[in-house]
């Protein structure tokens, strides 16, 4: 659908790719040119692993000025320390991550460690901007609650499993909005120029 919205001129310059971020080599191989920008919004924490994705993205960005942009999450430093000090909390956290299909290694990092992983992958000018959790999760919670109310208001049948999912998601997002568990991040990083 995204490709259908492009004009003929845009189709010459913009390539939408659909595939796995975990194996960029297979996905990007047909393209001979490096990319100017790679943008990843609200998904990198699902990749197995996010750190491998950073290395792959670096490989496919143009040498001078190629950029990686992300909206992503890390653990809040206080929760990170708490998990490091308690094996049962760490076990519970890893079990929860497994249940929601997020590799726990992706979240077991503070913003500073996240930044260092980007430098380790070869990026420079790494910028992290934190976003207040209530600005992210409170809106999600209210939006999902409103969708459930709208379905009822307009006579749209919602299955019991979907109602439970929406109610559960509202509850979890509300908890995330009110507690310092995750740190939402806006991230940008530039590719270093190749050595001659």
pLDDT, tens digit (0-9, with 9 covering 90-100), for 20-45: 776 777 777 666 568 899 999 999 99
Average pLDDT, the chain: 87
Q: What is the mean pLDDT of residues 154-182?
A: 88
Q: Give the CA distances from residue 196 to residues 63, 67, 148, 193, in Å, rounded to whole numbers and listed in that order.
A: 11, 20, 58, 9
The pLDDT tens digits for 109-125 are 889 999 999 999 999 99
Burial class (CB in 10 A: 0-12, 13-18, 19+), 55: middle
SS (H, E, C) 107-172: HCCCHHHHHHHHHHCCEEEEEEEECCHHHHHHHHHHHHHHHHHHHHHCCCCCCHHHHHHHHHHHHH
Reply yes or no on whether the pLDDT at 86 is more than 90: yes
Could you list the beta-strand ranges (E) of 9-63: 37-41
Q: Give the CA distances from residue 130 to residues 17, 65, 76, 135, in Å, rounded to whole numbers and listed in that order.
A: 28, 23, 11, 11
According to the model, what pLDDT value does residue 168 have?
A: 87
How does 94-114 read in b/e, with b if 16+ C-beta sit within 10 Å?
A: beebeeeebbeebbbbbbeeb
Domain ranges (residues) in the chain:
17-133+181-191
According to the model, what pLDDT value does residue 67 have?
A: 96
High-pLDDT (> 70) share of the chain, %: 94
Q: pTM of the predicted model, to two decimals?
A: 0.79
Q: 17-133+181-191 falls under which CATH superfamily?
A: Vaccinia Virus protein VP39 (3.40.50.150)
Q: What is the mean pLDDT of residues 175-192?
A: 92
């Amino acid at each position: 659908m995204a490709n259908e919205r492009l004009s003929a001129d845009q189709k010459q310059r913009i390539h939408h790719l659909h595939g796995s971020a975990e194996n960029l080599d297979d996905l990007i191989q047909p393209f001979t040119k490096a990319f100017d920008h790679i943008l990843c919004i609200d998904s990198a924490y699902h990749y197995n692993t996010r750190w491998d994705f950073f290395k792959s993205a670096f490989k496919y960005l143009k040498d001078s000025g190629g950029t990686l942009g992300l909206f992503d999450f890390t653990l809040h430093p206080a929760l990170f320390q708490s998990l490091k000090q308690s094996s049962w909390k760490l076990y519970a956290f890893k079990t929860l991550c497994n249940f929601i299909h997020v590799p726990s290694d992706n979240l077991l990092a503070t913003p500073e460690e996240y930044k260092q992983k980007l430098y380790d992958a070869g990026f420079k000018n790494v910028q992290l901007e934190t976003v207040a959790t209530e600005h992210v999760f409170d809106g999600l919670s209210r939006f999902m609650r409103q969708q459930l109310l709208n379905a009822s208001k307009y006579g749209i049948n919602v299955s019991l499993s979907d109602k439970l999912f929406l109610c559960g998601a509202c509850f979890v997002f509300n908890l995330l909005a009110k507690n310092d568990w995750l740190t939402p991040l806006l991230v940008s990083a530039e590719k270093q120029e190749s050595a001659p």
